[in-house]
Structure formats: C-alpha cells, structure tokens
Amino acid sequence: MSEILRISQLNVTPKNDTSRLLVNQANFSLSTGKTTCIVGESGSGKSLTALTIMGLLSKQLQASGNVVFQGQDITQLDDKAMQTIRGAKIGMIFQEPMTSLNPVLTVGYQIGEPLTAHLRLKGQALKSRVAELLEQVGIPASRADSYPDELSGGQRQRVMIAMSIACEPALLIADEPTTALDVTVQAQVLKLLDALKTRMNMAMLFITHDFGVVADIADDVIVMFRGEIVETGTRDQVLNHPQHPYTKALLACVPDAEGLKTLKPIDYAWLSQEATA
C-alpha cells in the first residue's frame, strides 16, 4: 500500500482571529486501499479538515500547513486547478444528501455532471455510464430520470455515492454519510462503500461519531478533540487499548447491546486536567 495523502502542520483559523485555532497542528497520512476514520464530537474539527483537503473552506476561514496529494501540495493550487482534482481524483460524500442534491435536476443528470466535466462523456456513452453507476450502487438504472424528492433517504445517499465515485477517484472522503439513515440501510451503505473501496483500491477518509461504524470499517483511527488530533492508531489499538483520556471518555459513552452498561457523561473539567497532566 502506498501513501496517497499526507497532511502536515495543518491549522485552520478565522481570518479575523488567527489566534483561534479551529484545527491545530494536524498531522496524518492516508494509504491506498485503507479506510481511516476520524472520530470526535461536533465541533472537533473533523469536517473542517475534510473541507481543507477539498479546498472548500468558507471564505471566512484560512488554512496553513501542507496537504500533499499524490506528491503535490494542493494548498498551493488556485480554485481553477483544484476543480481538476475535485470529483476527478478526490471524491466527497457530504452529510445530508437532500441539501447536497439539486431538487430541480434529475439524479441521472447530477451523476452525469462530473463525467461531462472531467471525462468529456456525452450522448449514449454518458447515459450508459450513469446507468452503470446507478446499478453499481444498487439503484435501478430506470431511476435516472427521478428527482431527489422521489427517492428514499437511503437511495439519495446511494446517488451521492454514485456521484462521488463516477470518475473513480483515488481518494474518497465520506463525511458522516450514514448519520440520517436507519440501522439496516446504514449497514447496506457501509458494505457498499467498503466493497467499492476494495474494488477501486481507493483510500477512504470516513468521518463519524459512531464507534460501531469504526469497528465495522476502519483500518486506522484518528481521534480529534477541540481541533487537535489527540490519538491515532489501528482500529484495535484505539478501540481496545485507548491511551488518551478523551478517547477513553468517548468509549465510555457507547452503550452496550444489552443496555446494561452505565453510561458516563464526559466531564470536561476533569478531562482538561487529565489531558494536560
């Protein structure tokens, strides 16, 4: 397995307050064929890290550090150059498909957009590839003419997956793609993503709150707390032998299958003392 992405000394701050670190000195790498999960509560910097990789940060924010993708520091690229990478070499599945899909365009048209933009497909070749992608994610090709509101939540998420893999990217970023789905559909989507990753030999960066998801799909795990990476390791190391107090506190919040475990809310005052001890 070869390294495909390396992030070094990544900081994200508001432009009007550079002392406020939303992501603080993040360092990690991703390899082809492996799934790395970023875990942490809301506001810990997970999505900001992903958006920085994609070059999609809000104009109110700024990033510093290095994001080296396939040997090239993409933080040095302008938006026009990044457009040749987004969708083609790096795909992204966003959190909520209903807000990411255009409600007035058919799903087939939207899946076809990256194929037209990056691969210059048109006519019957485009229709055939769209149909193939829909079938690949478990949706009948006949639904290409459907609008997003005519599909279930699980189907819309599968459409987002089809869009993100249309050009067979080397890296797929999945930002909590199963949060709004029921358990059965979530399992189907996770199985689909894992199968696509294996078939296409992609690297996958998967953002989640759910340690059950981590246990199912992760090869490596990154734990973020208040903008900082506080622990990294293999799935077994992080889930079974956590080292940082925050990782231990997060795992203590996970219910067991029988519902007999006493859950422990995170005591942030204690955690801050432990983390700096």
What are residue 26's DSSP bridge partners? 10
Mean pLDDT of the chain: 89
pTM for the whole structure: 0.89
Residue 260 has pLDDT above 70, yes or no: no
Q: What residue segments make up the domains of the chain, in order of their start? A: 3-89+167-239, 105-163
For residue 234, the SS3 value is strand
- Tell which residue, 250, 244, 247, 255, has the closest CA to residue 266: 250
Using the structure block, give the residue that is written with the tokens 């199985």: 191
* pLDDT tens, residue by residue, 44-94: 999 999 999 999 999 999 999 999 999 999 998 998 999 999 999 999 998
Burial class (CB in 10 A: 0-12, 13-18, 19+), 260: exposed
**What dotted CATH number matches 3-89+167-239?**
3.40.50.300
Sequence-separated (6 or more) residues with CB below 8 Å from residue 158: 137, 138, 139, 189, 192
Q: Where are the alpha helices (DSSP H) in the chain?
A: 46-54, 79-83, 97-100, 107-119, 123-136, 153-165, 183-200, 211-217, 235-240, 245-252, 268-276
Separation between Cα atoms, residue 24 and residue 226, nearest integer Å: 9
Q: What is the structure's pLDDT at 11? A: 96
* Mean local confidence (pLDDT), 3-21: 94
